[in-house]
Amino acid sequence: MEDNSEVLMNYGIDKKPKLLVIALACTLLIATFASRSLAATDTSALGTTQQFVNQALQILGNKQMPIPQKQAQLRTLMEPRFDFTEMSRSALGYHWKTLTPDQRANFTAVFKSFMEAAYLSKIGDYAGQTVDFLKQTSLGDGYAQVFTKINQATKPPIPVNYLLEQKDGSWMVYDVTVENISIIANYRNQFNRVINENGFDKLLADLKAKQQQLGVSAAG
Amino acid sequence: MGRIVKGKKSSVIIAALAMFSFASPALAQDKMPPHPPGENSQVYSDPLAGFNEKMFWFNLKLDHYVLHPVASGYAAIAPTPVRESVGRFFNNVNFIPRFVNNTLQLKLPQAGGELARFGINSTVGVAGFFDPADHWFGLKQSDNDLGLTFGRWGIGNGPYLVLPFLGPFTVRDAVGFAGDSAMWPLPYFVPWYVSLPTDAGKAVMEAVNYRSLHLDLFEQVDRYAVDLYGAVQDGYMQRRAHALKEVEQ
């Protein structure tokens, strides 16, 4: 960040034409503000992902914080980032159409709590892994894929990709691919089997039972 | 048994980082967002489900009561670098299907690379226990198998099939596996009463060694799944779809 008065003095305002100096100052001002605003709010899919992942890593890496507090902070951080309704719809596949709006909302809430319990209960395993943000590609209008890689100490890196959609101007995640396996597609197969064999209510019951087993308290 | 664990490996390694927290009251749109190509976004018909599910639970019990305990005991006495070297030894010795299938798919640089890797690792790499072909010469492994060759030739997967001891396949991949197994040279050079116990021993050692290097494989899948069979099935199918995409490039 330049102090523009110094720039003006360096160029010897007394000796150079005033117009040239003013033009130069304006260019520098614009350049300075433009780069600052880009760095502060990179609203691309990659930028959004980078932000929340790095913040999550900070929380995970905080050795002083007790685990329940980490879980609470991670919940708050991630809440606006994941489109849980879209994930539920995608995971239920054609079964979604057979549900009433109440059933859909209920399922979304149950799936959310289950996922929270499953993933937040493992944060104690965090062992200083770092993340490389590789690139983003566009999947069409308002959809993007962000490629990242988790580096581990003695093992090969794990490719993790995020699929994001743009909703009201901000990017939200609707699927995560770990080692080239889409999590939502995997759940789609599981949910389809459970619904076909035992019905939708059994699926809800199974999700709730699994969440209990995992023992992390729900956000409520 | 080596086959069963390999099939599950990728479907299971859930990053410590994938945190989900939610509650977005977003309106559900009418159109489905795109998933990238290569993903299996359909559900599987699984006509052999009756048989497959029995085999799946058999394999799971076999792993729980036999393979995992043995592998854990082995892991306790043999240090990780030793077991990784043993893994490299088996990997090296199993190069023929990779070489043949890369050739069949006309991926000649990769086929040549596999031959070179075998030559270098067997000699400089001390019978394949080390991998100087990669670390010194940058020659990467080119994974390939007969199931993928059939896939590239346009043969569809066929029904999902779970075999005892061997794990998940599709009919196409199972035929491919049989073909790849026939490329193992030993039975062609020694009588059956030598090759059969040797190959059985080899299969067991490979499986135990591999399992010992990935001890919490099932625990990971089980933790995140409401339907373990479905999770493994989809993990296998997605992994194979991705592998086919990779060799098509």
Q: pLDDT by residue (tens digit) across A25-38? A: 655 655 555 444 44
Residues A82, A26: Cα–Cα separation, whole Å: 41
- Supply the pLDDT for residue A126: 86
Q: Is B21 within 8 Å of A75 when comparing Cβ atoms?
A: yes
- Closest chain B C-alpha to A204 CA, distance in angstroms: 10
Question: CB of B44 within 8 Å of any CB in chain A?
Answer: yes
Residues of A in contact with B29 (CB under 8 A): 86
Which chain B residues contact residue A193 at CB under 8 A? 227, 229-230
> Is pLDDT of A65 > 80?
yes
Output the pLDDT for position B40: 43
- pLDDT band for position B44 (cuts 50, 70, 90): confident
The residues that bridge with A173 in the sheet, in sequence order, are: A82, A164
Given a cut of 90, whether residue B82 has pLDDT beyond it is yes
Q: In this complex, do A176 and B242 lie within 8 Å of one another by their Cβ atoms?
A: no
- pLDDT of A30 reads 57
Cβ contacts of B83 within 8 Å, gap of 6 or more: B74, B75, B209, B212, B213
Position A18 scores a pLDDT of: 67
Q: Answer whether A218's CB lies under 8 Å from A211's CB.
A: yes
**A219 has a pLDDT exceeding 70:** no
Per-residue pLDDT band for B151 (boundaries 50, 70, 90) equals very high
The C-alpha atoms of residue B166 and residue B162 are separated, in whole angstroms, by 8
Helix (DSSP H) and strand (DSSP E) numbers for chain A: 8, 5
Residue B27: is its pLDDT beyond 70? no
pLDDT band at residue A54, thresholds of 50, 70 and 90? very high
Q: Could you tell me the pLDDT band of residue B34, with boundaries at 50, 70 and 90?
A: low
| pLDDT exceeds cutoff 70 at A24 | no
pLDDT digits (tens, 9 = 90+) for A2-13: 455 554 444 444
Asked if the Cβ–Cβ distance from B242 to A74 is below 8 Å, we say no
What pLDDT does A41 receive? 55
- Give the pLDDT confidence score for residue A125 in this predicted structure: 83
Q: Do B231 and A175 touch (CB under 8 A)?
A: no
Whether B25 has a pLDDT exceeding 90, the answer reads no
pTM of the predicted model, to two decimals? 0.80
Token digits of residue B79 = 């240090």
Shortest Cα–Cα distance, B192 to chain A (Å): 39
- The DSSP result for B208-239, as a single string, is HHHHHHSTTHHHHHHHH-S-HHHHHHHHHHHH
Strands (E), chain B: 160-163, 167-170
d(CA A50, CA A44): 10
CA distance A14 to B228: 79
Q: Which pLDDT does position A198 carry in this prediction?
A: 95
Q: How far is B23 from B50, CA to CA, in rounded Å?
A: 38
Q: What is the pLDDT of residue A29?
A: 59
State the count of interchain CB pairs (< 8 A) between A and B.
Answer: 177
Look over chain B and give the mean of its residue pLDDT values, rounded to a whole number.
Answer: 85
Quote the pLDDT of residue A169.
87
Average pLDDT over residues B21-37: 42
With an 8 Å Cβ cutoff, is B40 touching chain A? yes
pLDDT tens-place string over residues B156-204 = 999 999 999 999 999 999 999 999 999 999 999 999 999 999 999 999 9
